Amino acid sequence: MCGIVGYLGKKKAVPILIDNLKRLEYRGYDSAGVAVIKDSTLVVEKSVGKLSKLETIVIPKDYPSTIGIGHTRWATHGKPSDINAHPHMDCKGEIALVHNGIIENYLELKEELIGRGHRFLSETDTEVIVHLVEEFYQGDLLEAVRSAVKRLEGSYAIAVVSSREPERIVVARKDSPLILGIGEGEYFVASDIPAVLNYTRNIWILENGELGEISPSGCKVYDLEGNEKKKETMVVSWDISMAEKGGYPHFMIKEIHEQPNALRETFRGRVGVDGLVRLDFKNITVEELKNLKKLYFVACGTAYHAGLVGKYLIERFVRIPVEADIASEFRYRDPIFEKNSLMIVISQSGETADTLAALRMAKENGVKVVAICNVVGSSIARESDDVLYTYAGPEIAVASTKAYTSQLMVIYLLMLLLAQIKGTLPIDKIKEFVEDLRKIPDIATKVLEDLEPAIIDFSKRYYKAHDVFFIGRGLDYALSLEGALKLKEISYIHAEAYAAGELKHGPLSLLEEGVPVICLATQGYLLDKMISNIKEVKAREAIAIGFGIEGTEDLKDVCDEVFYVPKVNDIYASVITVIPLQLIAYYMAKERGCDIDQPRNLAKSVTVE
Ligand code: M6R
């Protein structure tokens, strides 16, 4: 996730571009850049680091230009660096482009373009777009962009300028957001509405497959075939703080709603045309994966809960022993590092001190490390032998939501890849699992649409609870841990998770009349056992709130109320069912008036032991 902006009008472009980029920093902040046209030449200024650094470089230069584009980056392909920062330019330095999204076929396009004599400077996927535009350019930037985007696979929102057409910005979008702001004699481009609200409230929202051009005479939007499209002007009434959160009151709920897209982006490009998984390992060989005898998942908090899901799945389908461990425990328990083993560290931030220490320990003991990480260029990403990125974009709320579901997406893909390589599942079965996984982002959207109103109602009824228990078996036990963590973290309600079979070994004594117990029952093969456990809960007059997969009618007979998620394969139930649990935490905390995005005593990135 990155932020892009553009300006064309009568004022100096640079201060406006910087001002607008500041409102998009929540979309990325590892490097930034602008391109302006000055005396019919293109000037590009870019710098690694926060936008404030670029600001100190570019503002004193007081460029008179009244047209320009800008970018704030959240690295996906290529580490944060001056070279990888946008805008990117063509070989002649006449075209500059900013991009938000991921180009899946960039490697083959890059090869083709290098073959045609193009020179590449960066490691980014984006740079292929500007060279493609150069390749197609014959005096009309709009036509060149139209031809170029037809060659792209993946997601993009782009803004392009050329010194040969100094009064024109061309934009295009597919699967990444893009808006145009219509001011008085001035026009804006942005990834998101908040960026332009200081200047205009009249917005055109570009749809997938649309291209636009901005010139002093106004904005025009076309489809890919060149037909002009009429756009409706949306007049925005939000204040700026609300707009930064996409109209939501908190980042957490915005990020909960971003999950379908984060899942889609994380899946994107990782399945070949043969329907099998492709993960981009650079330093770990297929041979090493084939000979793998043991896996360690090591992480903290929510990321550890994702690792637990990995343990259940990989043991079941890849048939190798897997340990899932809390990093702060792992590193001090003198663990045994076995031959032919691999450590997988999971971290949203890539900076968690204990996870980083566990990673270093593994490497010192000759065990290779793969990171599942959201922040490109973070310490964990740099120090691991290989990284499987989650493409969730910046997660701002302290409570992890979209990072967790994206981590699960990578774990599912990894499990399927290992089963492929080791031959522990028939190829047809793997393909079936892959196809089911492809549908998960859309199912996540449906879960949000279907369950959010009911969860709001539920939260209004239960937000005064002192204790809430979460129980489950197998994958649902891992999910219980995550549900309970989320609830206690932001609502300050005491919440505990138990393996449902453990209740009778102690925790059952805590249950009494009226205590809510969230009973996760999505695993068909464990349903009978789970129903017995729910009966134990009911026998103590506690309130049983069930979560199951559509069609599990039996749950209704034993629970006080049941929430159903759409029919999915049991193995994918966790990534879907966590969404209503996140919503429960959010809406209960909201009812209790808690500081949701920054809960007391906690920090987003825990860089101390
Ligand atoms: O950045 P990381 O994923 O390494 O962070 C790990 C934990 O600190 C984090 O998941 C924490 O538990 C969250 N606040 C939970 O919502």
Q: CATH no. for residue 565?
A: 3.40.50.10490
| Same-domain status, 520 and 592 | yes
Indicate which residue's Cα is closest to atom 14 of ligand 1: 399
| Same-domain status, 107 and 222 | yes
Check residue 377 and give its pLDDT.
73
Nearest CA among 179, 184, 207, 183 for reference residue 194: 179
DSSP string, 95-132: EEEEEES-BTTHHHHHHHHHHTT----SS-STHHHHHH
Rounded average pLDDT over 379-384? 92
Indicate which residue's Cα is closest to atom 7 of ligand 1: 301
- Give 192's pLDDT tier (boundaries 50, 70, 90): confident
Structure confidence by residue, pLDDT tens digits, 9-57: 999 999 999 999 998 887 777 899 999 999 889 999 999 988 999 999 9
Of 384, 417, 438, the residue at which a domain comes to its end is 438
Rounded average pLDDT over 353-380? 93
Which residue pairs, CB below 8 angstroms and at least 24 apart, start in 271-276?
Answer: 271/434, 271/438, 275/431, 275/434, 275/435, 276/420, 276/427, 276/430, 276/431, 276/434
Structure confidence by residue, pLDDT tens digits, 491-505: 999 999 999 999 999
**What is the torsion angle, in degrees rounded to the nearest 10, for the CA atoms of residue 441, residue 443, residue 444 and residue 448?**
140
Check residue 608 and give its pLDDT.
67
Check residue 177 and give its pLDDT.
84
Report the alpha-carbon distance of residue 52 to residue 194 in Å, rounded: 19
User: What is the torsional sign of CA 555, 559, 560, 561?
Assistant: negative
pLDDT higher than threshold 90 for residue 393? no
pLDDT higher than threshold 70 for residue 342? yes
Residue 355 in contact with ligand 1 by CB distance below 6 A: yes
pLDDT, averaged across the chain = 94
Question: How far, in Å, from the CA of 471 to the mean position of ligand 1?
Answer: 22
| Same-domain status, 82 and 28 | yes
| Same-domain status, 403 and 468 | no
Residue 81 in contact with ligand 1 by CB distance below 6 A: no
pLDDT higher than threshold 90 for residue 603? no
Report the alpha-carbon distance of residue 590 to residue 515 in Å, rounded: 20
Structure confidence by residue, pLDDT tens digits, 517-562: 999 999 999 999 999 999 999 999 999 999 999 999 999 999 999 9
Give the position, in ligand 1's atom list, of the atom nearest the Cα of 348. 3
- The DSSP bridge partners found for residue 159 are 98, 171
Please identify which residue in the block is written with the tokens 């929540």: 26
| Same-domain status, 486 and 407 | no
Percent of the chain, pLDDT > 70?
Answer: 99
Structure confidence by residue, pLDDT tens digits, 61-112: 999 999 999 999 988 888 889 999 999 999 999 999 999 998 999 999 999 9
Residue 287: exposure state from Cβ atoms within 10 A (0-12, 13-18, ≥19): exposed
Check residue 247 and give its pLDDT.
81
User: What is the torsional sign of CA 425, 431, 432, 438?
Assistant: positive
| Same-domain status, 452 and 539 | yes
Check residue 561 and give its pLDDT.
97
To the query of whether residue 2 is one of the catalytic residues in this protein, the response is: yes
CA distances from 142 to 165, 181, 330, 577 (A): 10, 19, 56, 45
| Same-domain status, 445 and 433 | no
Report the alpha-carbon distance of residue 75 to residue 94 in Å, rounded: 25
Check residue 194 and give its pLDDT.
79
Q: For position 86, which CATH number holds?
A: 3.60.20.10
| Same-domain status, 380 and 395 | yes
Of 201, 220, 244, the residue at which a domain comes to its end is 244
Query: How many domains, the chain?
Result: 3
CA distances from 283 to 343, 348, 368, 385 (A): 14, 21, 9, 6
CA angle (208, 157, 376) in 5-degree steps: 130
Residue 400 in contact with ligand 1 by CB distance below 6 A: yes
pLDDT higher than threshold 70 for residue 229? yes
Find the catalytic residue in 2, 300, 373, 519.
2
Check residue 600 and give its pLDDT.
85
Find the catalytic residue in 220, 363, 529, 604.
604
| Same-domain status, 190 and 260 | no
| Same-domain status, 297 and 372 | yes
| Same-domain status, 537 and 602 | yes
Question: How far, in Å, from the CA of 463 to the mean position of ligand 1?
Answer: 24
Range of the domain at 392: 248-438
Name, in order, each residue with C-beta under 8 angstroms of 464's C-beta and a sequence gap of 6 or more: none
Please identify which residue in the block is written with the tokens 């691991």: 384
Selected residue with higher pLDDT from 196 and 239: 196
Report the alpha-carbon distance of residue 558 to residue 426 in Å, rounded: 37
pLDDT higher than threshold 90 for residue 311? yes
Please identify which residue in the block is written with the tokens 């080791």: 422
To the query of whether residue 91 is one of the catalytic residues in this protein, the response is: no
Residue 301 in contact with ligand 1 by CB distance below 6 A: yes
Residue 374 in contact with ligand 1 by CB distance below 6 A: no
Of 219, 244, 269, the residue at which a domain comes to its end is 244
pLDDT higher than threshold 90 for residue 258? yes
DSSP code of 61?
Answer: G
| Same-domain status, 190 and 55 | yes
In this prediction the pTM is 0.79
Check residue 609 and give its pLDDT.
65
